[in-house]
Structure 1
Amino acid sequence: MFERFTKSAREVVEGAVGHAGRTQAPAITEDHLLLSLLDREGTRAASVLAALGVDRRREALEEALAQTRRRGGVSRADAEALAGLGIDVAEIVARVEDVHGNGALATGRGPRRWRPAGRRPFTRGAKGVLERSLRAAVARGDRHIGDEHILLALTIGPGVVADVLAEHGASWADVERVLAADGEGRAKAS
């Protein structure tokens, strides 16, 4: 599959590895793939994120990711829905953290496994994103996998990153709409 990745898509994966290394994360996650995409300039994914205004809200995205992870993966929308049922997620998190310490519910934690020095594995979710990027490319009729397909895969998948992107105006439909408009513009220009 990696032979179909464009240079830009490979750089996103390498950037995710770099983000994981800088934060000493035990594995490369979907968060790292998103942060790597946000670092990019001059690519299709970067232009989509700029068109949606997501590139200007990086700090807000990072904070939303951290808060959602702290709540054990419960998105803001889910927390609001639970509040409608009388369940206060913030209170539950506070009580659990009082007993077990800050970040006790944070997702992505767990026992550290032995790994060869210098190598971080990809989480199941990050592997899923890379697999979905192939499906996104095939669905769009593309013969390569670019960083825009990784972005689409992040919005398609279940999980924290997709929820946070949607909360910040980058749902799958939004990304697909911008890519379609960009594709029409490219077709008219040629």
Structure 2
Amino acid sequence: MFERFAEEARRAVALAGTEARRMRHDHLGTEHLLLGLLAQPQDPAARVLGGFGLDLAGGRHAVLRALGGPGPERDAAALAAIGIDLDAVRAAVEHTFGAGALDAPPPAARRPRRGGPRFTDRGRRTMVLALRAATGQRARRIETGHLLLGLLREGGGVAVRVLRDRGVDLAELERRTEASLVGGLREAS
């Protein structure tokens, strides 16, 4: 299937893998595909997402929040509720033990999986739906917009949850994505 991917779409999938590894995830899900799209701000799919107020930094934050991962603001708020100032504690510890003393140690060296993180079922389904979106438009290549349509049409992954949490009108996002693809197809002919 990857032979049908446009260079930008291939790059988005590769960047999704980079985002998964950056988050220390051993899987590649819809959330990583969304971040892979956002990682190319000049790309039409990222521009459509940008029209809804989404960018890579905000996307990373939203993904981590959606997955329930620890966040410094959550830790600080919890400690402040019991009267502990996390910034004061960090400053005191770093004064005594040096900068970064409270940072997490690097992960233990693991043998990297061959080929990187593996697609989740929803990630694979997104790829199939991207192919269907492209063939439905009689496109010769799968573009990043088709990947975005695949994410939206999969409908149940973390990416869609992030978009909903950010207040994105999914139907409108789908319409704008389709319009950007039709406009791009006209420009290419």
Q: Is the shorter-chain TM-score for this pair beyond 0.5, marking a shared fold?
A: yes
CA contact (8 A) 1:155 1:170 kept: no
Aligned to 1:13: 13
Residue aligned with 1:54, SS: coil
Cα offset, 1:116, TM superposition? 4.1
1:147 to 144, 147, 150: 144
- By how many angstroms is 1:115 displaced? 7.4
Q: Distance in 2 between matches of 1:17 and 1:185?
A: 26
Offset from partner CA, 1:106-142 (integer Å, 9 cap, x none): xxxxxxxx97456322222211111111111122332
Q: Percent identity over the alignment?
A: 33
Aligned match of 2:121: 124
Q: Distance in 2 between matches of 1:52 and 1:180?
A: 15
The residue number in structure 2 matching 1:28 is 28
Distance 1:148 1:167 in 2: 21
Q: Which runs of 5+ in 2 are unaligned?
A: 70-110
Structure 1 counterpart of 2:68, one-letter code: R
Q: Does 1:134 align with 2:148?
A: no
* Per-residue CA distance 1:141-169 (angstroms, 9 max, x = gap): 32210111111111121122112213335
Which of 161, 164, 172 pairs up with 1:163?
161
Q: Which residue of 2 aligns with 1:2?
A: 2
Tell me how far apart the structure 1 counterparts of residues 32 and 159 of structure 2 sit (CA, whole Å).
10
Greater shift in the superposed pair: 155-164 or 59-68: 59-68
Which segments of structure 1 move beyond 6 Å, counting only runs of 4 or more?
none
Is residue 29–residue 122 contact of structure 2 (8 Å, CA) maintained in 1?
A: yes
Quote the Cα distance in structure 1 between the aligned partners of 2:26 and 2:62: 21
RMSD of Structure 2 on Structure 1 (CA): 3.0
Q: In 2, are the aligned partners of 1:20 and 1:27 still within 8 Å (CA)?
A: yes
C-alpha displacement of 1:22: 2.3
Provide the residue aligned with 1:43 in structure 2. 43
Task: Give the TM-score of the pair, scaled to structure 2.
Answer: 0.64
C-alpha spacing 1:52/1:25, structure 2 compared with 1 (3 Å)? same
**Distance of aligned partners of 1:163 and 1:20 in 2 relative to their CA distance in 1, 3 Å threshold:** closer
Bigger CA radius of gyration: 2
Aligned residues: 146
